[in-house]
Structure 1
């Protein structure tokens, strides 16, 4: 029934269609309509089949009822004539005391008459038949014959749609089984219970169902056609739903559901033993009752079942309950035929049957239920035993009220109250949280199965303990409780607090160490700034040779001392875990060029050859920390210079592995120096250690350099090592991992030959005003001297307050701000500058921090205060110039040389720089005039294309690409002696790298002018018309 109902509901479910093309839509609608009709047809057949089954079940019930009474006497009428096949029964016909003649109607005769009445009223045909009928008039037709033959093969139902008298019917047939009551009329040996003696066929006309289905199909078809027409019109833009409610089908479905429910109830009743008795004497029973007690049914008929089937000790209570019209279910013990005693539950009520009252009793075997109850009782006893004697503290708590329902022995021992006292308490009595906080905690865990708390619990002696509570929800007799296990964690908490205190003390000591290092850095670097700065300024004055030599010694010694300071601070930061690696884009080739340039002079002084080799497979543009990488290389190469007296030093970079966007490189620094004994190599990378004490006395050094290198290499994801032979030389190598980047992501540095010192003049910064804020008079003098040497104007203030006064009256272009100063420090002064409410003229003025602090976080602290950048003391001219180029606004100067064609030219190079260095070019090509002509011709042919590529990059606003092509043009110009074009390309490259696209336009204009001048001269000298 449920399946049929589901199909009916599915047949009326909404269907979703989509609009595609006209043909596809028509096919889809046609298929859907056909499928719907098939579903309706199947639902119609299933509904008819369900009715046929219900009709069959009704026939069986009628037959069972008739057979149960041994037949039924009815008045003799024209329709109810005496059954000739029962003529052998002497009581077939009887006459009442009033003279009315009655005849006995057996089950089959009554069933046929019911079939006739049913056919007249509803058109439903019924037919009892078999393969071996007693009367040929009851012989099966062909369809019934096939059905009966299938029953002999074990099939339980046979159905199909057939035409009867030209009208379609749903025909269904089920086997007719011999039951116990049948044996009264058929006592012979050829009948036994369970035999198939034939069948009852039910033929239901499909016309009523077809009418309902046609209505549904018509509605469905109309809906489909409507959607089909709408789809062809192209106006259906979204899915639509069609719902049709057929009340007739719903009513039919409801009737089928009611019929099914009745059958289900009958089936449920049949699962119980049912007996009808009169004062204990059996009147009737179902098969289940006899089976329950292990007796054949016939042995129980007519006997007193109370004394036979129930335990003698329970009979008295049963008789007492039988005296009541209706007894509630009660439990007694039953006795089976084999003597087995089992538990049963009985419920009985009186029933008036004719002129006498009988009792109907239902009997249920509850043995399994009793066994389950016993198992539950044992389980509860086991739980109680485990609960009581568990070593852990356990509580059972009502989560709603907080009442302590139970506590085990460990809880009694832990809290100090008796079990009875604990059971009378609430969890609020022992929990140190306020009642509101405790309720909130419990409320937050309402939907959690397992709960974890940390509380403080009070004990009977008023001591308070830290506890960790694990709770889970349990159900007891339908109520929910919390089963809580309580662990005393007081000592653990005390240990954790002591550990936390020790950690805080260690961190405080570490902070104190860091502050000490920062202050020491400041105290040392501040006077060093004066020594190095003043020495640099002194060397730029007219000194005698001996004075210059003394000044050089002072500067070299100061630089060495500064290196020692840097090593100590770096190692301290590493030891404290405060040294961080940056990840930025850099040009490895430029880094190696800078390395070579910085060490080449010293190597030349010692008569050594210094080379750098970058293997072809190594990517040029990387992501990593170029500062720390260069620090390692400078340290290793500097050591090589220190310990090598003849021969050569080489730095080589190769690629080990490349995976995706990362690469692992191997760096090797080789020398032909004094070498290292094998037994000493293991000590080289330990702090404060050198190979030999005599080496320290002879060559100097702190013993920290290689230890710092080792830690830096490890932070770069690599390792470091050395191979060496005394008297032959050494190879120090290390590996490091880097990210790779595309050219557009790179920011190559300009060549060192065209640095920021020249670029300051190139970009027209000679009218810039800079404010220096510095409390140390020496440092003020040094910094102002460097600013003056750079061709710029500078003013000084001794503290932040003075600086604010000057910035409120003078339009400065940039501020160099010391950090630690009296009256007002640099951080506070910068905050005032950025505050729009302050009287400062330019709140966006670049502010560069000048500080001797060298600890982690100093740069971040400066930037957070509103400063733009960070410059560490001591201040070197190159570093200051580069910072000024980066942050000063670009200013293209306009030439007033009177040349109308070049009125907007930008003289970006010194006045004495030649446009074309012809002598230099001829010298490089050893005076070969034909070769010079060939080189110039190639330059004039190739350079316009490069200029065009550069022009496109400028138009696209891509600084990295501009820098790349400017760098290429610079190299080409240098190779042919185009000095002014080379300088213009260098200025453009640096402008793109240092400041994005801000100063590129005027530099590009300058480059094109210089290229035109160079081409004009070259064509005059070398190109023949």
Structure 2
């Protein structure tokens, strides 16, 4: 009978009451649910709180009509007062029996006798349990069985006389069945006899030794509770309540020694006794050690499975039919598609067929089966390589298989391990291919491949060495070190034996002599590949390449380079000399013409003088272009890095070209952005040269109109510490046809190259400008329209300077003229220079040689020295160095301005590094001389100040 779930308030009360059954409730619960005789329970108020199914069948009423109601509702109304009084007497404890006239079939009243048991619930409230015992003929046997059953419960249900039954049991025990008794006592397992309230009434010595000190202790009614066998009692009661006659159960208990024991108990209801003398015989086997062994075996199996599952290699076992009986994780992962599949019980052919269904012909399974059969037939271990497709990928295993036997030597199957060598096999194949490729490479190589055994001092090489060293085919030892130059051989052995170069190896060049005595250059490289325990080299491998031809070519190339450098140097000397030889007489011509400009001349004379001056300057421009082009064509241009005033340089060029522009009615405009700093770092000479070429071309090719010069700083396009400048020169001249714009920067290019051309020139200017712009980290572009003018734009990179260097000034206001020593060996140049100085308000003193100049410096005091560089006996640089070294006391810091026809940039740098204060190029322009002299302070002590301030480079 299942406990009912309450459907109404009455059922809820019954349910709660049932949960509060007396201490016997945990045992009564299963009993009341299992018995097949009517039973019910009343609470302290006489209300029905529980009834079983047989009782409901008896009264023919649903539980909802009874729960929480007085007992009188189950009887006809005529009997209700009597039943109410009887229930009150039972609850008061004055009566143990209840005769209940229950309405039966056809409305007749059937008297049913109930025996009652008083108890209390968990809260101490009294309850009464009632059980039918008489007046049920069709259930008489069951009534008697369960009446005896409740004698076995550990709570009093009802009292019954069992004297006769006990006497029958005692008679049986002493009836002389000696053989059965002897077996009972000698049995190695626990044997016990239970009666009535599930207590032992007899037991053998094994039970006594396990649970008690003597046999009498086993008769303790509370023994099973003390031994912790409550669950066993429950199982036995359920067996008896269900009508079963045997029970097999495993029970835990505490032994006499305090240890925990596990018993396998087989209990059976003894036949032949009346219900009042119910007996159970039980046999208990101590399975404690067996359980421990099984647990240890399970732990060991778990350990083995965990270890095998943690293995990278595959591990398995198969039976004689090649079916898997064990498989670790590695093999499961290789064979199974998903967790839904299984390995155990299947053969490898199952997985082979699966692969063939996927279209793979060469599968893994067939080889596995074949090797299994070999091991089973030969009964010997074997090693196999098994490969094929599995799960869609190629797999190769290195497999070890052995036969599997039981303890009696019977063949059970096979065991095996498999290591995945798919990658290893691929690496082996790659290594073989690499070795074969290396072999072919060595055979095809023209180099000598060698190895040196450091321990045995022995060289081995390939067959490329015999061609050079005449070894026989049978020889493999190379004696090249004995044919090497002694110095090279010593260095080679040092490199070999000391492991020079470490992991990177070493390389060297050495000379070897062949059989004919001809020396060959060899490029030798080697590397240590083996060391001993102490880290010393034991094996070195390397190769020698014959570089004799390369050495010959290098020698020829070096000679050609030396010859070219000598020729270039000779050309540079020639250019310097030509510059000097041309500029020196031209200096005299322009100097005299400039002096004549201030003389009282007629208008015709003035016109002739102007033509002569302009022609001289045109000649100077041609000379400069030719020299620059020749110089830039052979040597990359070099650039100085000195502070200079970019705006000032632009104004200088503008002013210089303004006179010619004014004659053609051309206006030169300038646009200098405010972001152009006062000082930049760069080569002012090259900057002015670019300006002169661009602005000069603009003036030359413009008949009238405007030439505009723009200079802007490109802050956003400049790297840190530098400033990119944008220089633009625009004119309104004749322009250039579109089909010729791509050639304007090429050397010698002229728009009109015929005899009728209107504009003279060499065609070198823009080519020089492009070389200089590129050398200064910039770019250049042109835009022109024929008849509308031309715009040329270029970018130039200069260094930034944060503040004006100390000592830089705007010049000196010379209140009186300077006393200037002019040292010049050319008479015309001396006259021109002295006359210009006089015209400018200064006081020149001339000397025709450096020696004469030293004498004058010792005799007189001068504010500065203006001297030529190229002079006989002692040149200008030697004179300057002598003065700086104190040859003439008191003039160590005197300003020295070089007046020279040597105008190359390298020469200027050399001059400045050797003590020259300033630099003036021949032919000398009077306005340039005037500007240079404004930088010289009176007193002859301004060399350092002049070096630190504005440039006096040649124009």
Q: TM-score, normalised by structure 1?
A: 0.47
Aligned to 1:339: 380
Aligned to 1:744: 803
1:769, CA displacement in angstroms?
A: 3.4
Match of 2:760 among 695, 700, 704: 700
1:636, CA displacement in angstroms?
A: 3.0
Correspondence list, 1:118-517, <5 A: 136-137=256-257, 139=259, 191=293, 195=297, 338-340=379-381, 390-392=443-445, 393-394=447-448, 396-398=450-452, 400=454, 403-418=457-472, 423=477, 425=479, 427-442=481-496, 443=498, 445=500, 447-475=502-530, 480-517=538-575
Aligned to 1:581: 639
1:410, CA displacement in angstroms?
A: 2.2
- Gaps spanning 5+ residues in structure 1: where? 1-86, 89-130, 146-185, 199-334, 343-366, 893-989, 999-1025
Contact 2:488–2:510, Cα closer than 8 Å, also in 1: no
Contact 2:735–2:790, Cα closer than 8 Å, also in 1: no
Query: What SS class does the counterpart of residue 418 from structure 1 fall into?
Result: coil
Aligned to 2:814: 763
Contact 1:621–1:746, Cα closer than 8 Å, also in 2: no
1:712 aligns with 2:772: yes
Measure, in 2, the Cα distance between the counterparts of 1:738 and 1:384: 58
C-alpha RMSD over aligned residues:
4.9
Contact 1:394–1:483, Cα closer than 8 Å, also in 2: no
Measure, in 1, the Cα distance between the counterparts of 2:531 and 2:940: 87
1:865 aligns with 2:914: yes
Match of 2:894 among 839, 845, 855: 845
1:788 aligns with 2:843: no
Aligned to 2:732: 672
Match of 1:798 among 826, 844, 848: 848
1:140, CA displacement in angstroms?
A: 7.2
Match of 2:652 among 591, 594, 599: 594
Note the alpha carbon deviations across 1:496-522, whole angstroms, 9 max, x for none. 322232222222222222221111101
Q: Which has the larger radius of gyration?
A: 2
Contact 1:585–1:741, Cα closer than 8 Å, also in 2: no
Query: What SS class does the counterpart of residue 580 from structure 1 fall into?
Result: coil
Query: What SS class does the counterpart of residue 640 from structure 1 fall into?
Result: helix
Contact 2:590–2:616, Cα closer than 8 Å, also in 1: yes
Measure, in 2, the Cα distance between the counterparts of 1:522 and 1:474: 66
Aligned to 2:932: 883
Contact 2:707–2:730, Cα closer than 8 Å, also in 1: yes
Measure, in 1, the Cα distance between the counterparts of 2:504 and 2:665: 81
Correspondence list, 1:789-828, <5 A: 789-828=839-878
1:687 aligns with 2:747: yes
Aligned to 1:525: 583
- 381-390 or 692-701: bigger deviation: 381-390
Note the alpha carbon deviations across 1:924-971, whole angstroms, 9 max, x for none. xxxxxxxxxxxxxxxxxxxxxxxxxxxxxxxxxxxxxxxxxxxxxxxx
Measure, in 2, the Cα distance between the counterparts of 1:588 and 1:657: 16
Closer/same/farther in 2, CA of residues 468 and 530 from structure 1, 3 Å limit: same
Note the alpha carbon deviations across 1:510-541, whole angstroms, 9 max, x for none. 22222211111010001011111122223333
Contact 1:763–1:891, Cα closer than 8 Å, also in 2: no
Measure, in 1, the Cα distance between the counterparts of 2:833 and 2:847: 12
Aligned to 2:207: none
Note the alpha carbon deviations across 1:866-898, whole angstroms, 9 max, x for none. 333332212223323333333444699xxxxxx
1:561, CA displacement in angstroms?
A: 0.9
Measure, in 2, the Cα distance between the counterparts of 1:451 and 1:872: 56
Note the alpha carbon deviations across 1:355-386, whole angstroms, 9 max, x for none. xxxxxxxxxxxx99xxx9xx99x999997996
Measure, in 2, the Cα distance between the counterparts of 1:341 and 1:593: 101
1:776, CA displacement in angstroms?
A: 0.9
Q: TM-score, normalised by structure 2?
A: 0.51
Aligned to 2:791: 732
1:778, CA displacement in angstroms?
A: 0.9
1:434, CA displacement in angstroms?
A: 4.9
Note the alpha carbon deviations across 1:315-345, whole angstroms, 9 max, x for none. xxxxxxxxxxxxxxxxxxxx99932379xxx
Correspondence list, 1:920-959, <5 A: none
Aligned to 1:658: 716
Note the alpha carbon deviations across 1:734-782, whole angstroms, 9 max, x for none. 121334746734899999xxxx7xx5xx33453x433222211111111
- Gaps spanning 5+ residues in structure 2: where? 1-186, 189-250, 263-287, 301-375, 384-417, 951-955
1:486, CA displacement in angstroms?
A: 1.4
Aligned length: 562
1:439, CA displacement in angstroms?
A: 4.5
RCO comparison, higher one (Cα < 8 Å, 6+): 1
Closer/same/farther in 2, CA of residues 136 and 794 from structure 1, 3 Å limit: farther
Greater helix fraction, Structure 1 or Structure 2: 1
1:645 aligns with 2:700: no
Aligned to 1:351: none
Contact 2:508–2:523, Cα closer than 8 Å, also in 1: yes
Closer/same/farther in 2, CA of residues 187 and 423 from structure 1, 3 Å limit: farther
Contact 1:583–1:625, Cα closer than 8 Å, also in 2: yes
Measure, in 1, the Cα distance between the counterparts of 2:566 and 2:791: 39
Aligned to 1:902: none
